[in-house]
């Protein structure tokens, strides 16, 4: 619109000036036809007026041509402006469509990225669970292997003991037989047969009794060793659990922000740990609200808590309950 007004104003002024000239000349021509002036006008003057009228007509025609040309140029300029405006509109529409498409692609990419991140998190959790399961299975295997070795060692010791006892019994039996044989030769044949029969029966009973006793002793020894080993291992594991629980509690205490309103108050908290000590979750189970808030903040600040590298000990303490009581220096 500003371009139109800039061109139209000069054209209007120019047209006005030309039309004014034409009107003045035309009026001058009309004055020559008045009766009082006709007598004063000579032939050269009339000719001059006619020439001027022709010039005016020529000038008017030229002016009309210029105005038509200006109008044509203005129409062409307007058409060019409209074409450029239409092209600009189409370009804006294409740009907006492209921006809309890019926005849709960006949102789609965000959704795909979010899905990929969620899938990665699920895979990571599954991998962690598989790792923990494998560690537990390895710990169970090592424990069973150790129990098997203990049982084999106990069985070997019992077998050696049995062999020694059997050798001693065999030697004693040989000596006894030799003595009985010497005595038996001095007695009559009938007594010898009776004694031999009685001896065979006694020997069978003695062997059966000795065998039963040896088996019982071996079983008792094996059970005692297994019980002692189990008690020792449980005691060691409980000691390790207690030690790391104390370390965890000390770590929380170091990060605990306290004030006088917490003195003498406690909070019971349940903490779930990964095998590297990373705090998976923490839940307060009861206690003073301020102490519980400070306790959760201290756990969050610590990020990781001490855990045993032994999978069996970690398995006992991966979910622990603690009672936190603020300390004041």
Mind listing the pLDDT tens digit of every residue in the chain (329 residues)? 444 444 444 445 455 554 554 554 444 444 344 444 334 444 554 455 465 788 888 888 988 898 999 999 999 999 999 999 999 999 999 988 888 889 888 889 889 888 888 888 888 888 888 888 888 888 888 888 888 889 888 888 888 888 888 888 888 888 888 888 877 777 777 877 787 888 888 888 888 888 878 777 776 766 666 665 566 666 777 788 889 999 999 999 999 998 888 999 999 999 999 999 999 999 999 999 999 999 999 999 998 999 989 888 888 889 999 999 988 76
How many angstroms separate the most distant Cα atoms in the chain?
213
Look up the pTM and report it.
0.33
CA 221, CA 262: separation in Å to the nearest integer?
Answer: 56
Q: Are 290 and 262 in contact (CB under 8 A)?
A: yes
Tell me which H or E stretch contains 244: helix 189-254
Q: Identify the DSSP state of 40.
A: T
Q: Concatenated DSSP letters for 187-220?
A: S-HHHHHHHHHHHHHHHHHHHHHHHHHHHHHHHH
- CA dist 3 → 9, 74, 99, 256, 259 (Å): 10, 10, 31, 75, 77
């Amino acid at each position: 619109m500003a371009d139109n007004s800039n061109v139209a104003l000069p054209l209007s002024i120019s047209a006005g000036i030309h039309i004014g000239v034409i009107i003045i000349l035309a009026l001058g021509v009309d004055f020559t036809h008045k009766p009082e002036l006709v007598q004063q006008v000579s032939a050269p003057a009339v000719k001059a007026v006619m020439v001027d009228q022709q010039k005016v007509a020529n000038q008017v025609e030229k002016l009309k041509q210029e105005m038509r040309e200006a109008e044509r140029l203005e129409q062409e300029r307007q058409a060019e402006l409209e074409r450029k405006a239409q092209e600009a509109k189409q370009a804006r529409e294409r740009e907006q469509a492209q921006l809309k498409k890019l926005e849709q692609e960006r949102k789609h990419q965000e959704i795909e990225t979010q899905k990929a991140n969620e899938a990665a998190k699920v895979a990571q959790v599954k991998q962690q669970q598989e790792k923990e399961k494998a560690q537990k299975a390895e710990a169970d295997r090592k424990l069973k292997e150790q129990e098997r070795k203990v049982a084999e060692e106990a069985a070997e010791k019992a077998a050696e003991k049995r062999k020694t006892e059997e050798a001693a019994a065999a030697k004693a039996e040989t000596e006894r037989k030799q003595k009985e044989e010497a005595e038996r030769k001095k007695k009559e044949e009938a007594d010898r047969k009776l004694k031999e029969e009685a001896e065979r029966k006694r020997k069978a009973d003695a062997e059966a009794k000795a065998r039963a006793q040896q088996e019982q002793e071996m079983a008792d020894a094996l059970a005692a060793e297994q019980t002692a080993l189990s008690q020792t291992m449980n005691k060691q594991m409980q000691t390790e659990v207690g030690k790391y629980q104390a370390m965890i509690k000390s770590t929380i205490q170091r990060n605990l922000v306290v004030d006088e309103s917490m003195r003498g108050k406690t909070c019971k908290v349940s903490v779930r740990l990964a095998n590297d000590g990373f705090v998976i979750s923490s839940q307060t189970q009861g206690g003073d609200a301020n102490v519980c808030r400070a306790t959760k903040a201290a756990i969050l600040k610590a990020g990781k808590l001490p855990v045993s590298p032994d999978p069996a000990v970690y398995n006992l303490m991966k979910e622990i309950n603690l009672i936190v009581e603020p300390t004041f220096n």
